[in-house]
């Protein structure tokens, strides 16, 4: 009877590990998306800077250039700070899930040892595992 309880507990931990691994995969995909978004925003910002610099009406050397440059920089910094906050949140979630996974691995290992000990005792003592 005890062996089946140990096996049931091990199956529970296997299911938990699977769920956490799935969540980790999802977070890693979101991190990839955040990195891609950051690169795209940086590329767009660089393009806008270049266009502003060479703009005939508002380009480098005009009075409006400094104002438009400052506005462009502020928008870019805001977008990057939002993406960085999202990435930080994802990192925290990932660390929490990895901690949970490590705990479950520890529990699973302990239960496997108990199961093996119980099986060994059953063979040594002729099937009486309660003593």
- With respect to residue 128, please indicate whether it lies within any of the assigned structural domains: no
- 93 occurs within a structural domain: yes
Sorted by sequence, the CB contacts under 8 Å of residue 19 that are 6+ apart come out as: none
Assess if residue 65 is contained within a domain.
yes
> Domains in the chain: how many in total?
1
CA distance 2 to 14: 18
- Long-range contacts: 51-60, Cβ < 8 Å, 24+? none
* 130, part of any domain: no
pLDDT at position 87 is 97
**Integer CA distances (angstroms), 109 to 9, 103, 112, in order:** 11, 10, 5
Tokens of 72: 């462009």
Asked whether residue 25 is assigned to any structural domain, the reply reads: yes
Distance of alpha carbon 11 from alpha carbon 33, whole angstroms: 33
Q: How far apart are the first and last CA of the chain?
A: 14
For tokens 């005890």, the residue is 2
pLDDT at 1 over 60: no
| Within-domain flag for 125 | no
For the chain, percent of residues with pLDDT exceeding 90: 63
Is position 89 within any domain?
yes
121: pLDDT confidence band, cut at 50, 70 and 90? Answer: confident
Cβ–Cβ < 8 Å for 27, 97: yes
Choose between 101 and 114: higher pLDDT: 101
3 has a pLDDT exceeding 90:
no
In terms of residue numbers, what domain contains 84? 2-118
Do the domain assignments include residue 15? yes
Label residue 131 by pLDDT band (50, 70, 90).
Answer: very low
pLDDT of residue 128: 56
pLDDT tens digits along 20-68: 999 999 999 999 999 999 999 999 999 999 998 888 888 887 888 888 9
> Residue 62: its pLDDT value, please?
81
């Amino acid at each position: 009877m005890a062996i089946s309880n140990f096996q049931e507990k091990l199956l529970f931990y296997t299911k938990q590990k699977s769920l956490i691994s799935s969540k980790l995969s999802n977070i890693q995909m979101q991190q990839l998306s955040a990195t891609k978004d950051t690169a795209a925003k940086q590329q767009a910002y660089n393009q806008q800077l270049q266009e502003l610099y060479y703009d005939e009406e508002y380009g480098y050397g005009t009075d409006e250039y400094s104002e438009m440059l400052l506005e462009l920089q502020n928008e870019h910094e805001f977008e990057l700070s939002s993406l960085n906050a999202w990435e930080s949140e994802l990192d925290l979630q990932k660390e929490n899930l990895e901690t949970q996974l490590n705990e479950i691995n520890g529990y699973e290992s302990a239960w496997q040892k108990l199961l093996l000990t119980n099986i060994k005792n059953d063979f040594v003592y002729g099937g009486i595992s309660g003593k």
